[in-house]
């Protein structure tokens, strides 16, 4: 049932899009757009700073305790390694169940005729606002994303497209945008170009500030001009390389219209990195599918799901929360927490179990790709900055139920802690006592059995990779003619890289992000370079 | 199709948590060496670790074949052994058999480094004469003179390595562990918790004149017997093999080679 809403929900005491700079301290949600401790003063600043330091302190302490135990209490360190390896195996089993179920659901949802399902619902009034923020991406990337909208099974006249350019992108970007508008605007209800000014106060350069500006511009130039009621508008915030699958808007509309509390819900598709997957190097493919799989697992645990990358959110609550935060790196997940706090814990993410396709990270060469992947993951894992925000906002907002606060905070803290520490423990530090534990430890049966037993559990856990390989093969788009069948074998075998990628491209960037927060050496937004020689036919994943 | 139901997820979670709670202590006890044996119940076991730095050596425990070393397999861990005494044998074609009596304590691993000495001993004479026979290796006259002169020099009576400090004590040869606060190598331990600080390689029978570490063993020369290579191990029965059996012969380690002097002649012992 669709609840009644006011069209002008907005953060009390704020101007939409002004971020924390525009917040008055006497307003109810003055803390809604805090980016970092330096936005605050006095005891609040100290408290927020401590919360920023918390993830780094937890992770470094865990690793430090492990190292100390390896030297001085190697037997206890060995017990911990065994415990970790058993935990890892069981966690893999648990997550694999979720992955398998989501894979079945994804396959099911892709086969469904969502337009048929929509027929029983009244949906003509729904308008989709599709925002594509971009900086210096080539025409092909943007055009492919916009072209996919025209090929959707949804009436494109109910889609308004916003090409959100950065003024720092220069004239070239304007030329690209104008060309896209010329070529594609007749298909859509509207197609506008916004140009986000550089160096606005209270902003950091990045996607958040750009799409916030674009959303407000779209409100003014499209919604208000055409008298479109805000409550009828669903905003899809896409990454510029997002190529939708044909039924994306139909599926999204159905989920929106059938949601229990649509104005208290965001909608999350599954990001597949299929656009260039056949052309991406092995390392890039493993990382890309690992990211997709994590999102698929989260789709089956909606209470733990926050928005990520390309996502959709109704315009009313979005405006009510002041749009995306302009002063943080991880605006995609932060917007969920903004909404969660703004609506006093009465907000959720609805998993769509329907994919969108994006680019796997590809550089000019393997080294370049590795650097890009590292930076991209450092940016993603910088989502640990949400922990300080959540804890601080939870303290300031007494209306959020305590149980919800506890669950949300615990899950976030545990998530970033385990991401940064567990792979390092399992594949590196966990074995340290064998080297530094001393002769008295090395003479024990335990020291001889430890590698055999822990390795056994970890190897068994790695069998979960067989499932990963099978799922990844099923999600592949059609094989381009230039690749033979042998490529399929390579795509399955690539999963042996996982222990290596988990440490190098998950734990280490995660730890670096947390150390940056710990030391106040804050990260800026880094735009993943988009290189694309050819796009894979997206419409035919082998699901 | 609906998402995985919260109820199902809870059931899976609880099952796996229960499995973790059950498995963790069981696995830790297993890792520490606890085993359940029929008619006995739970016992604490120990193990033996053998380092076999040779290929094609056959290892047996109490007469039962354990395995054979290879290019990559250079060590054997024999676990699940009840506390007690075990006879370990290693045989390899072209080497003296190696035998050791090892005591295993519960929860501990007794280790031993297998030391194989070739048989027969390969000896070549070092000569500066041209057109020497196949059992002779030509070296230059100055090098021959240099080697010979090293036998006239006074050599230290103690020398140290990770095995301990090797001492020549009035005609006897002993290996001592002079750092009692540190952990002793297992060669000093009759059983894992019962160790000594001194291992005698030659005591009273003959008069040793020189000794040195060489390739994992200890070489010494006696006035009466010649040149020997021996293992320093307090556990029975360490290997002692005569390398050059002529009274009055002596040896030096020169450029990591074992050179024996017999009268005016020099020989090199190969294959150790």
pLDDT of residue B131: 62
What angle do helix axes A331-342 and A207-218 make, rounded to 10 degrees?
Answer: 60
For residue A57, count CB atoms less than 10 angstroms from its CB and return exposed for 0-12, middle for 13-18, buried for 19 or more. Answer: middle
ipTM of this predicted complex?
Answer: 0.84
Tens digit of pLDDT at every position of chain B (272 positions): 888 999 999 999 999 999 999 999 999 999 999 999 988 899 999 999 999 999 999 999 999 999 999 999 999 999 999 999 999 999 999 999 999 999 999 999 999 999 999 999 899 999 887 765 668 888 899 999 999 999 988 878 889 998 999 999 989 999 999 987 788 888 999 887 788 999 999 988 899 999 999 998 999 999 999 999 999 999 999 999 999 999 989 999 998 999 999 999 999 999 88
Using a CB-CB cut-off of 8 Å, the residues of chain A touching B20 are: 86-87, 90
Tell me the torsion sign for CA atoms B62, B66, B71, B73.
negative
* A282: closest CA of chain B, how far (Å): 30
Which residue out of B2, B4, B183 would a mutagenesis test of the A interface target, given it has the greatest number of A Cβ atoms within 10 Å?
A: B4
Closest to A115 measured CA to CA, from A144, A149, A153: A153
Cα nearest neighbour of B106 on chain A: A445
Tell me what pLDDT residue A324 has: 96
A61 min Cα distance to partner chain B (Å):
23
Chain B residues closer than 8 Å to A438 by CB: 183
The neighbouring-strand residues paired with B164 are: B161
- Most A CBs within 10 A among B3, B35, B47, B191, hence the mutation to make, goes to B3
CB A402 within 8 A of CB A346: no
Q: How far is CA A482 from CA A363, A478, A479, A534, B129, in A?
A: 20, 12, 8, 12, 71
Q: How close is the nearest chain A Cα to the Cα of B91, in Å?
A: 25
Residue of B1, B12, B107 lying closest to A97 (CB–CB) = B12
Q: What residues in A contact B16, CB-CB < 8 Å?
A: 90-91, 93-94
Q: Would the CB atoms of A302 and B46 count as touching at under 8 Å?
A: no
**pLDDT of the residue at A20:** 40
Picking from B4, B9, B24, the nearest residue to A83 by CB comes out as B24
Q: How far does A321 lie from chain B, in Å, by closest CA?
A: 28
For tokens 């149980």, name the residue. Answer: A403
Which residue in A443, A451, A461, A464 has the most chain B C-beta atoms within 10 A of its own C-beta, making it the best mutation to test that interface? A443
Q: Answer whether B183's CB lies under 8 Å from A441's CB.
A: no
Structure confidence at residue A509 (pLDDT): 95
Residue A1: predicted pLDDT: 36
Residue A543 has a pLDDT of 45
Which distant-in-sequence residues (6+ apart) come within 8 Å of B258 by Cβ?
Answer: B214, B219, B243, B251, B268, B269, B272
Rounded Cα distance, A382 and A446, in Å: 38
* Residue A440 tokens, joined: 């008295």
Sheet of B240-244: strand order equals B208-214, B217-222, B226-230, B240-244
Q: What is the pLDDT of residue A146?
A: 96
Choose among A94, A351, A450: nearest Cβ to B31.
Answer: A450
Domain boundaries, chain B: 6-32, 41-113, 122-270
Look at residue A507 in the predicted model and tell me its pLDDT: 95
As given in the structure block, the two tokens for residue A443 are 């003479």
B20–A443 CB contact, under 8 Å: no
Closest CA to A218 of A207, A200, A233: A233
Cβ separation of B23 and A438 shorter than 8 Å?
A: no
Choose, out of A88, A108, A445, the residue to mutate when testing the contact with B (most B CBs < 10 Å).
A445
Residue A11, token pair as written in the block:
């953060």
Residue A439 to residues A360, A534, B192: CA-CA distances in angstroms? 48, 58, 11
Q: Which candidate from A299, A300, A439 shows the least CB-CB separation from B183?
A: A439
Mention the CATH class of domain B41-113.
mainly beta
Of A78, A351, A445, the CB nearest to B45: A445
Pairing of strands B172-176, B198-202: antiparallel
How far apart, in Å, do the first and last CA atoms of chain A sit? 32
| Residue A157 structure tokens | 């006249």
Ramachandran angles phi, psi of A159, nearest 5°: -120, 130
Would you say A404 and A345 are in contact if contact means Cβ atoms under 8 Å apart? Answer: yes
Residue of B nearest to A444 (CA): B108
Q: B33 to chain A nearest CA, in Å?
A: 6
DSSP A201-232: TT--SSHHHHHHHHHHHHIIIIIITTT--GGG
Q: Which residues of chain A have pLDDT under 70?
A: 1-26, 525-543
Taking contacts as CB-CB distances below 8 angstroms, the residues of chain B near A93 are 16
Residue indicated by tokens 């907005």: A10
């Amino acid at each position: 049932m669709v609840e009644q809403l006011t069209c002008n929900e907005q953060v009390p005491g704020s101007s939409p899009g002004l971020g924390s700079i525009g917040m008055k301290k006497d307003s109810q949600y003055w803390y809604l757009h805090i980016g970092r401790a330096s936005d605050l003063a006095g005891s609040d600043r100290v408290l927020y700073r401590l919360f920023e330091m918390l993830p780094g302190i937890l992770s470094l302490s865990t690793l430090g305790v492990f190292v100390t135990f390896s030297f001085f209490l190697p037997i206890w360190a060995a017990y911990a390694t065994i415990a970790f390896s058993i935990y890892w195996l069981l966690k893999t089993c648990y997550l694999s169940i979720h992955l398998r179920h989501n894979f079945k659901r994804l396959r099911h949802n892709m086969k469904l005729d969502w337009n048929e399902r929509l027929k029983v619902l009244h949906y003509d009034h729904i308008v989709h606002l599709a925002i594509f923020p971009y900086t210096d991406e080539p025409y092909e990337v943007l055009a492919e994303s916009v072209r996919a909208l025209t090929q959707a099974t949804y009436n494109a006249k109910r889609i308004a497209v916003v090409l959100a350019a950065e003024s720092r992108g220069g004239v070239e970007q304007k030329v690209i945008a104008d060309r896209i508008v010329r070529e594609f605007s007749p298909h859509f209800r509207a197609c506008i170009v916004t140009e986000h000014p550089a160096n606005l106060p209270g902003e950091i350069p990045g996607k958040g500030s750009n799409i916030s500006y674009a959303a407000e511009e779209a409100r003014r130039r499209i919604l208000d001009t055409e008298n479109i009621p805000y409550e009828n508008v669903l905003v899809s915030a896409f990454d510029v390389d997002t190529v939708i699958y044909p039924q994306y808007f139909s599926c999204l509309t159905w989920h929106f219209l059938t949601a229990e509390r649509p104005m208290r819900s965001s909608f999350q598709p599954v990001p597949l990195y299929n656009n260039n997957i056949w052309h991406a190097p092995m390392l890039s493919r493993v990382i890309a599918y690992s990211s997709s799989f994590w999102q698929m697992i989260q789709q089956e645990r909606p209470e733990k799901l926050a928005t990520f990358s390309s996502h959709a959110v109704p315009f009313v609550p979005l405006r009510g929360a002041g749009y995306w935060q302009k002063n943080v790196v991880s605006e995609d997940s932060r917007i969920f927490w903004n909404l969660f706090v703004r609506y006093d814990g009465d907000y959720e993410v609805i998993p769509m179990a329907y994919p969108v396709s994006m680019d796997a990270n590809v550089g000019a060469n393997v080294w370049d790709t590795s650097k890009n992947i590292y930076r991209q993951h450092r940016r993603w894992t910088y989502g640990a900055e949400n922990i300080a925000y959540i804890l601080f906002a939870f303290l300031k907002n007494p209306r959020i139920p305590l149980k919800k606060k506890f669950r949300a905070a615990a899950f976030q803290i545990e998530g970033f802690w385990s991401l940064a520490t567990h792979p390092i423990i399992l594949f590196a530090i966990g074995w340290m006592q064998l080297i530094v534990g001393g002769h008295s430890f090395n003479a024990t049966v335990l020291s001889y059995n430890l590698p055999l037993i822990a390795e056994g559990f970890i190897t068994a856990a790695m069998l979960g990779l067989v499932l990963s390989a099978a799922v990844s093969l099923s999600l592949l788009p059609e094989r381009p003619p230039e690749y033979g069948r042998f490529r399929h074998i390579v795509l399955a075998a690539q999963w042996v890289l996982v222990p290596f990628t988990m440490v190098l491209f998950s734990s280490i960037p995660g730890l670096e992000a947390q150390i940056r927060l710990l030391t106040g050496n804050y990260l800026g937004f880094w735009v993943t370079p988009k290189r694309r020689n050819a796009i894979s036919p997206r419409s035919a994943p082998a699901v | 199709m609906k998402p995985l139901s919260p109820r199902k997820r809870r059931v899976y979670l609880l099952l796996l948590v229960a499995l973790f709670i059950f498995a963790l202590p069981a696995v830790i006890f297993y890792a520490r060496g606890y085993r359940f044996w029929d008619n006995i119940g739970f016992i604490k076991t120990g193990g033996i670790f053998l380092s076999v730095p040779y290929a094609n050596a056959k290892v047996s425990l109490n007469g039962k074949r354990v395995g054979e070393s290879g290019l990559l397999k250079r060590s054997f861990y024999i676990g699940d052994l009840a506390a007690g005494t075990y006879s370990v044998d290693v045989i390899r074609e072209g080497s003296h058999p190696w035998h050791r009596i090892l005591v295993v304590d519960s929860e501990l691993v007794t280790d031993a480094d297998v030391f194989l000495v070739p048989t027969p001993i390969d000896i070549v004479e070092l000569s500066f004469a041209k057109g020497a026979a196949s059992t002779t290796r030509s070296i230059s006259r100055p090098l021959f003179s240099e080697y010979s002169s090293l036998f006239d020099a006074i050599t230290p009576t103690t020398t140290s390595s990770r095995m301990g400090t090797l001492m020549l004590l009035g005609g006897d040869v002993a290996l001592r562990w002079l750092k009692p606060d540190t952990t002793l190598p297992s060669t000093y331990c009759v059983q894992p918790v019962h160790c000594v600080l001194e291992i005698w390689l030659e005591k009273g029978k003959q008069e040793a004149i020189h000794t040195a570490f060489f390739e994992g063993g200890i070489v010494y020369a006696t006035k009466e017997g010649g040149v020997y290579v021996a293992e320093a191990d307090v556990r029975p029965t360490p290997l002692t093999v005569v390398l050059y059996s002529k009274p009055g012969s002596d040896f030096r380690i020169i450029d990591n080679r074992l050179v024996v002097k017999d009268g005016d002649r020099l020989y090199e012992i190969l294959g150790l």
